[in-house]
Amino acid sequence: MKWSLPSAVLVAASLALGCSSNERVLRPVQRMSGATGTMKIGKADNANREVEIEVAFVPRPEDIDKSLTTYVVWLKPSTGAGDWMNMGQLSVNDDRKGKIRFVTPHPSFVVEVAAEANPTVTNPSQAVVLEGRSD
């Protein structure tokens, strides 16, 4: 079997993440008990962490509140005084599943998946559906 360069790079990156990652279960908040999620944490360049979050069975944001339109993943360092950081929009498909991948320099952190009015908000809403910790 002959590999193309992009395929070989993708396979190598997947194996690297899989071999050096650990997986955590994201906990649903009480009112959204049907939502499920996982967080895979792997090593990235420059002592960073690569994080992949996958969710399933999340409600449509507008079903939580009519003013909410999307999901955002939030990260806060576990140690020190740090603010919540918007890590990006989590696109959820019609099957109520979604995935996002990002890099953080923080070795220990807390994440939340929250429904938001728009993807560029600077503070998390109270509409958190899943939460988890890196440690």
**Which domains does the chain show, CATH number per domain?**
22-133 (2.60.40.200)
More confident site: 108 or 13: 108
Instruction: Tell me how far apart the alpha carbons of residues 102 and 74 are, in angstroms, rounded to a whole number.
Output: 11
Query: pLDDT tens digit string along 105-125?
Result: 999 999 999 999 999 999 999
pTM of the model: 0.82
Instruction: Tell me how far apart the alpha carbons of residues 70 and 91 are, in angstroms, rounded to a whole number.
Output: 7
By residue count, the chain amounts to 135
Residue 28: the pLDDT is 94
* Residue 98 and residue 92 in contact, taking contact as beta carbons nearer than 8 Å: yes
Q: Which residue has the tokens 């728009």?
A: 118
Query: pLDDT tens digit string along 42-78?
Result: 999 999 999 999 999 999 999 999 999 999 999 999 9
